[in-house]
């Protein structure tokens, strides 16, 4: 009887997850031959990793794919690190507040997420533009105005703003589940505040930290809305390359190859994080 209830979910996953993934993989390793027939090839992947050569022997778009991938990974790592530095203290403070204050903090954290992702990103255009709120405040304070829009800094700011709640909530959940008697026991044994945090609080919150890192890094590396709006149309990340190949160029095969490369990067990051989490769990089991 229980299996009958699982069949609709299995069917839904097969239609909307497995089949699209198989189609993407199929398009990434196929091409249309000179005679119009479909042939299997890895030329799309070789084209992505084509070396940079001097001169104009290759079109410009074929010389920047690896650099775009590196830029995407760099910005994703930077946004993940900033979200961790900002999100962990907020999550820790939320676990130390009374219930009423905690509800207010959670409400303030979740309200922006109720708004459409695109609208939230559009709002930063009016804040960061030349005559926006930031420059108006700087002008009234007698400080020089800044041109941050359409730069790496603007894209990074948009990523941190949109993905910060996905870092805070998993860490908050892990800290909330922690038994406070463990902290009291460590303090009774003479551990100071820093030692309690380093040897008790942070190791026990690592599952939430790893979940938060995964939830921020993966969409950060694949985003294209933020880079389109805050970075300008000339600013490309991996997500923008996929969008361009599918919607503008019409090269579904090369776009699928880029999507497969992105998926492999995500899988590699998840494997690395899972190995790290497993090592931490073994270390905690040894201590216990």
Both 222 and 270 in one domain: the answer is: yes
Q: Pull the structure tokens for residue 186.
A: 């460590």
Look at residue 37 and tell me if it is in a domain.
Answer: yes
Q: How many percent of the chain have pLDDT more than 70?
A: 88
Both 266 and 154 in one domain: the answer is: yes
Both 83 and 14 in one domain: the answer is: no
pLDDT at res. 85: 96
Both 166 and 257 in one domain: the answer is: yes
Both 129 and 260 in one domain: the answer is: yes
Both 78 and 17 in one domain: the answer is: no
Both 155 and 185 in one domain: the answer is: yes
Look at residue 46 and tell me if it is in a domain.
Answer: no
Both 8 and 114 in one domain: the answer is: no
pLDDT at res. 1: 64
Distances (CA, A) of 200 to 31, 156, 204, 205, 274: 55, 32, 6, 9, 20
**Phi/psi at 40 (nearest 5 deg)?**
-90, 135
Look at residue 207 and tell me if it is in a domain.
Answer: yes
The beta-strand segments (E) located in the chain are 30-32, 38-40
Does residue 174 contact residue 209 with C-beta atoms inside 8 Å?
A: yes
> Which alpha helices (H) appear in 178-222, and where do they start and end?
180-188, 193-196, 202-204, 206-222
Both 15 and 81 in one domain: the answer is: no
Look at residue 47 and tell me if it is in a domain.
Answer: no
- Structural domain count, the chain: 2
Look at residue 49 and tell me if it is in a domain.
Answer: no
Look at residue 53 and tell me if it is in a domain.
Answer: no
Look at residue 235 and tell me if it is in a domain.
Answer: yes
pLDDT at res. 130: 79
Name residues whose C-beta falls within 8 Å of residue 160's C-beta, 6 or more positions apart in sequence.
79, 82, 83, 86
In whole angstroms, give the CA distance from residue 171 to residue 116.
24
Q: What confidence tens digit (pLDDT) does each residue in 165-203 have?
A: 999 999 999 998 888 888 888 888 887 878 888 888 888
Instruction: Tell me, yes or no, if the pTM score tops 0.85.
Output: no
Instruction: Give pLDDT < 70 ranges for the chain.
Output: 1-2, 51-63, 97-101, 233-235, 276-288
Which CATH number fits the domain that encloses residue 144?
1.10.3720.10
Both 106 and 233 in one domain: the answer is: yes
pLDDT at res. 68: 86
Both 137 and 7 in one domain: the answer is: no
Look at residue 52 and tell me if it is in a domain.
Answer: no
Nearest to 39 by CA among 25, 27, 50, 22: 27
Structural domain range at position 186: 61-287
pLDDT at res. 269: 84
Q: How far apart are the first and last CA of the chain?
A: 41
pLDDT at res. 163: 93
């Amino acid at each position: 009887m229980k299996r009958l209830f699982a069949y609709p979910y299995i069917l839904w996953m097969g239609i909307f997850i497995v089949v699209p993934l198989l189609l993407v993989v199929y398009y990434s390793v196929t091409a249309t031959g000179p005679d119009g027939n479909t042939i299997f090839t890895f030329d799309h992947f070789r084209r992505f990793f084509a070396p940079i050569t001097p001169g104009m022997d290759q079109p410009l778009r074929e010389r920047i794919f690896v650099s775009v991938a590196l830029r995407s990974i760099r910005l994703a790592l930077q946004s993940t690190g900033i979200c961790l530095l900002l999100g962990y203290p907020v999550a820790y403070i939320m676990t130390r507040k009374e219930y009423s204050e905690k509800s207010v903090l959670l409400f303030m954290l979740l309200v922006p997420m109720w708004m459409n992702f695109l609208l939230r990103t559009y709002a930063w255009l009016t804040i960061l533009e030349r005559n926006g709120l930031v420059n108006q405040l700087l002008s009234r304070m007698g400080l020089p105005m800044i041109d941050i829009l359409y730069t790496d800094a603007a894209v990074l700011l948009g990523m941190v703003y949109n993905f910060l709640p996905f870092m805070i909530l998993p860490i908050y959940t892990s800290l909330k589940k922690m038994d406070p008697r463990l902290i009291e026991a460590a303090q009774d044994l003479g551990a100071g505040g820093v030692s309690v945090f380093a040897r008790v609080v942070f190791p026990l919150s690592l599952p939430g930290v790893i979940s938060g890192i995964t939830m921020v890094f993966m969409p950060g590396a694949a985003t294209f809305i933020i880079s389109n709006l805050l970075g300008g149309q000339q600013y490309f990340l991996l997500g923008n390359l996929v969008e361009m190949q599918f919607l503008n160029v019409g090269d579904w095969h090369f776009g699928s190859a880029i999507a497969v490369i992105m998926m492999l990067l995500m899988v590699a990051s998840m494997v690395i994080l899972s190995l790290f989490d497993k090592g931490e769990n073994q270390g905690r089991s040894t201590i216990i």
